[in-house]
Amino acid sequence: MKFLPIVLTVLASLIPSCMALCDISWNIPDVPSEGLTDITFPINIANAPHTAGYYFAQQFGFVGLADVGYIGLQPRPDSDSGSTMHGVFSSFVSGATSTDDNCSNGADGGDGVSCAVDFLASYSDTWNLVVTSDGNTWSGAAVDSSSGVQQNIGTYTLPAGAGGIQSSQVGFVEYYPWNGNSTFTCADLPSTKGTFYPPTTQSSSNGAVTGDISGSVDNCQSYITQQSISGGVDFSIS
Ligand SMILES: *[C@@H]1O[C@H](CO)[C@@H](O)[C@H](O)[C@H]1NC(C)=O
Ligand SMILES: *[C@@H]1O[C@H](CO)[C@@H](O)[C@H](O)[C@H]1NC(C)=O
């Protein structure tokens, strides 16, 4: 999954090669021209079954670059040690590099870097997906908003000239077994649920601010219910 808001309509016609079920548009006010140095996307998947298949993600663009990055959570089956999530932090930027053990070259079959970790995680808690920069080097982490426990997902470096994070982008919920599958049937969607909350940053021109989000259902509309919950956007599938 990757797209910019402007090309959303065009790419929607390419679905289901990239099967977005739901979109989550976000924006942040008062972004300086050089972009943000941090952004946090809260996501709650308390009521998602502990099985693989769904990806709850937010995307972000960089000043001076056309390609985006994304960060998000995927449920996983429980391990012997407890409930487990898969955290993903990726960039589609050509020329991005990483020396992190949990990152590898390439993203969704194209240029970029993909980082991922499986980690023990409480599903009941909202997780903050936190993206921070040190110059051109960007790190992604999942932070339990209740306990403060932090799980690093990965770190990559963008090519020289890349700026900070831009003021808006669009995240998604996808059922990734359907990527590239043109014969899916909406009735086959397993049940799940996830809530996205508005992003926050510490690095707007007014310091700490909270942005806005809005959701839409793009596919399998009759199987997906969207509602507003505590300032967030909640999707219930099947
Ligand atoms: C890579 O992931 C493992 C968990 O799979 C974690 O223990 C380790 O700290 C991670 N590495 C870095 C550099 O964050
Ligand atoms: C495509 O998805 C359907 C379920 O909707 C499944 O029955 C079929 O096997 C899938 N095809 C491929 C090639 O994965």
Each as own residue / partner, the long-range contacts of residues 137-143 (CB below 8 Å, 24 or more positions apart, any chain) are: 138/69, 138/91, 139/89, 140/71, 140/87, 140/89, 140/115, 141/87, 142/73, 142/85, 142/87
Q: Is the CB of 184 under 6 A from ligand 2?
A: yes
Number of domains in the chain: 1
Distance 232 CA to ligand 1 centre (A): 30
Q: Is the CB of 182 under 6 A from ligand 2?
A: no
Asked if residue 18 belongs to a domain, the reply is yes
Q: Is the CB of 183 under 6 A from ligand 2?
A: yes
Residue 15 has pLDDT above 50, yes or no: no
Average pLDDT over residues 213-219: 95
Asked if residue 3 belongs to a domain, the reply is no
pLDDT at 182: 76
Distance 186 CA to ligand 1 centre (A): 36
Residue 131 has pLDDT above 50, yes or no: yes
Distance 152 CA to ligand 1 centre (A): 7
Q: The domain spanning residue 93 has which CATH number?
A: 2.60.120
Residue 218 has pLDDT above 50, yes or no: yes
Distance CA 128, CA 44 (A): 9
| pLDDT tier, 18 (very low <50, low <70, confident <90, very high otherwise) | low
Distance 43 CA to ligand 2 centre (A): 28
Distance 117 CA to ligand 1 centre (A): 7
Nearest to 60 by CA among 201, 171, 213, 224: 171
Instruction: State which residues form the domain around 213.
Output: 8-237
| pLDDT tier, 79 (very low <50, low <70, confident <90, very high otherwise) | very high
Mutate-to-test residue for ligand 1 from 84, 88, 114, 152, highest number of ligand atoms within 8 A of CB:
152
Asked if residue 81 belongs to a domain, the reply is yes
Distance CA 43, CA 57 (A): 9
Mean pLDDT, the chain, integer: 91
Asked if residue 134 belongs to a domain, the reply is yes
pLDDT tens for each residue of 144-175: 999 999 999 999 999 999 999 999 999 999 99
What are the DSSP calls for 168-213, one per residue? EEEEEEEEGGGTT-TT--GGGPPPEEEEE---EEEEETTEEEE-EE
Asked if residue 1 belongs to a domain, the reply is no
